[in-house]
Homo-oligomer: A and B are copies of this chain.
Amino acid sequence: MTNMQVGDPHALSKGSTPPPESASTLRLYSGRFCPYAARVRLVLNAKNIKCEVVNIDLKNKPEWYYEKNALGKVPLLEIKGPSGPSFISESLIIAEYLDDQYHDDFPLLPNDAPLERAQQKMLLEIIYSKITAQWHPLMVKEDTAKKAVLIKALGEVEQLLRGEYFAGEKPGFVDLCVWPWFERLPAVELFRGVPFTPTDYPKLTEWSEKMRVHPRIRDSIFSTELMLEFFQTRNPDVGLLSVILATFNFWTSQNPKPAAAANALELEMIILMPSNNTNSGASVGFTGVPMEIAAKDTAEKYANIHRVLGYQQRHPV
């Protein structure tokens, strides 16, 4: 109910019964890690709109969901009305509807300046098309060529950021609707070694930090730890080992080596083994550098990795 419970893992699967009628005017059928659903949650939270959220298990969708949405896709907004519910699909159409219908609190697009409105939507399309084509394949498979294209694309998007935010002085439609892909970049960085550093992208990384702490936005954002866990579910044979190796290789390839990477060599590191194994202690040697690896509980695990890789210094969540 009301603002979304970020990270609530409960999702309805095949064999479930449909949820009872919503107590709220709005209900969003969402997917926890779907970036398109995330767009809508960002808009709802930014505009302080009350909405019930029903998470759908996207790998194992409930039969009853297809009656609401023949394609079975999320996000889907259900709007209670006197003659029954109305439904809107397509994340950008939902987002624009919410801004039109609940315009006053935190307006996202100007509703009296057609040219500026069009230009913001165009900017969103440009950024979206540059970023998304690369990161999704990268999430599920290592691909050197796609990595190079993403790095180049980020450089181009850096040039498109001309104010505090893409929308100007405060976050707007563009910022919220492209955010879900930027939210995942630190996980892509850790997972595939695509650097997203202030040196390479001073404006984008600053914008990204401002988005993460903005009072209207921060509660919609998942932690990088949670994103990494999700990435692992899509790469069950890989495990966090590859994350650490990829990031370690990236850091040690920097010249001069960052201080944090030097520390890494002396720090205890925790490896989460592939999901078909239980967490267990193990030893692994980086080139010429034997390291001790011990099993710890999950909470400590990520904290250590971040400390090892100097990650936390750059992303102090």
Q: What is A's interface to B at a CB cutoff of 8 Å?
A: 79, 86, 88-90, 93-94, 96-97, 100-101, 114-115, 117-119, 121-122, 125
Of the candidates B90, B114, B118, B125, the one whose C-beta lies within 8 Å of that of A121 is: B90
Of the candidates B93, B115, B118, B119, the one whose C-beta lies within 8 Å of that of A118 is: B93
Q: Do residues A79 and B115 form an inter-chain contact, with CB atoms below 8 A?
A: yes
Of the candidates B79, B96, B117, the one whose C-beta lies within 8 Å of that of A97 is: B117
CA distance A121 to B101 in the complex (A): 15
Q: Do residues A97 and B125 form an inter-chain contact, with CB atoms below 8 A?
A: no
Q: Do residues A86 and B119 form an inter-chain contact, with CB atoms below 8 A?
A: yes
CA distance A115 to B118 in the complex (A): 19
Contacts of A90 in B (CB 8 A): 121-122, 125
Contacts of A115 in B (CB 8 A): 79, 86, 88, 97, 101
Contacts of A96 in B (CB 8 A): 118
User: Least Cβ distance of A242 to chain B in Å?
Assistant: 34
Q: Do residues B93 and A125 form an inter-chain contact, with CB atoms below 8 A?
A: yes
| Most chain B beta carbons < 10 A, residue from A89, A97, A100, A118 | A118
Total copies of the chain: 2
User: Least Cβ distance of A104 to chain B in Å?
Assistant: 13
A and B contact pairs by CB, cutoff 8 A, 25 listed:
A79-B115, A86-B115, A88-B115, A88-B118, A88-B119, A89-B122, A89-B125, A90-B121, A90-B122, A90-B125, A93-B118, A93-B121, A93-B122, A93-B125, A94-B118, A96-B118, A97-B114, A97-B115, A97-B117, A97-B118, A100-B114, A100-B117, A100-B118, A101-B114, A101-B115
| Most chain B beta carbons < 10 A, residue from A94, A100, A114, A119 | A114
The 10 closest A-B pairs by CB, nearest first: A100-B114, A97-B118, A101-B114, A88-B118, A93-B121, A93-B118, A97-B114, A90-B125, A93-B122, A88-B122
CA distance A100 to B122 in the complex (A): 15
**Which B residue's beta carbon lies closest to that of A156?**
B70
Contacts of A101 in B (CB 8 A): 114-115
User: Least Cβ distance of A157 to chain B in Å?
Assistant: 13
Contacts of A117 in B (CB 8 A): 97, 100
| Most chain B beta carbons < 10 A, residue from A93, A94, A96 | A93
CA distance A86 to B121 in the complex (A): 14
CA distance A105 to B95 in the complex (A): 27
| Most chain B beta carbons < 10 A, residue from A89, A94, A97, A125 | A97
Contacts of A114 in B (CB 8 A): 97, 100-101
CA distance A35 to B47 in the complex (A): 37
